[in-house]
Amino acid sequence: MMGHPSSVETLNPAVHTDDVVRIEAGHVEHRRDVAAREEPLEIRFGGSPFVVIMRTPGGDRELAAGFLLSERIITHAEDIASIQPCIDTEARDPLGDAARTFTVREGNVLNVWLTGDAATRAAAALAHRRAVTANSSCGVCGRRSIDDLLGNVQRTESAWTLSPGVIAGMPAALRATQTAFDETGGLHAAGVFDRSGVLVASAEDVGRHNAVDKVIGRELFLDRIPLSDRVLFVSGRTSFEIVQKAVVAGIPVVAAVSAPSSLAIELARDANITLLGFVRGDACNIYSGAHRIQL
């Protein structure tokens, strides 16, 4: 989908403007267009590189916190002593690797300092983890094995229920916040709703799992984890890593406008999560946890 033409540079950090050639019905037009911005974010533990995440700039601290929570390195906000962007001299690659030049652009490196047991877990992760990049379509590329993904599944026991009418209002409420998508057509969104259907937090990103990390990270900084009274709603499909992030954050209901994957369904059932797909209008599919929906 091509965004709307623009004659001025946008100030939205999620959007990039560029020159394109538009061909339509035999007519050729040179014009300005917009694209979703994608840049790498390197997360370091006290100066030691841990992971590079391909993401849309904006909400980087929340993204880092949500990612570290889903990786089970932190469990609450108090585990984080500090998250600070590296200044230019700090961001330079100590090995002088030219391939990393793009990664260490201004604003693309975060230094994280952890405390207590979280610092110990971070050190262990650094010792056993090869350098990886989490791209915009896959949130689990750095995991060492399938056992890392499926181990220690936490079941959520939240027993509250949700009406179909509340669910039906969530897609429009989330869509109304997608300002960068309106310009580019190239961003996913995630939202956290309360039980009455009020949107509590939302984020956009080229990666749907990044958008989820951003909203969960925001709630973590507000000391609201576990999110046992919240609904996670995502644009697009629901893949395994989306449900996995909900499990770690303690979210009992996950919904989306499109389909879940088979492994997402399996994990949702194992974790006692209510998983909804194809939420459109007054219809949806319930793949697991139907006891939380008022039928």
**What six digits make up the tokens of 72?**
């089970």
Is the Cβ–Cβ distance between 231 and 203 less than 8 Å? no
Is the Cβ–Cβ distance between 291 and 283 less than 8 Å? no
Residue 183, Cβ neighbours under 10 Å: how many?
A: 22
Q: How far is CA 159 from the centre of its chain?
A: 26
User: Which of 86, 138, 141, 284 is labelled catalytic?
Assistant: 138
Distance of alpha carbon 86 from alpha carbon 109, whole angstroms: 6
Tell me, yes or no, if 138 is annotated catalytic: yes
SS3 label, residue 277: strand
Roughly what angle, to the nearest 10 degrees, separates helices 208-221 and 60-70? 90
- Residue 117 main-chain phi, psi, to 5 deg: -60, -30
Catalytic site residues?
Answer: 138
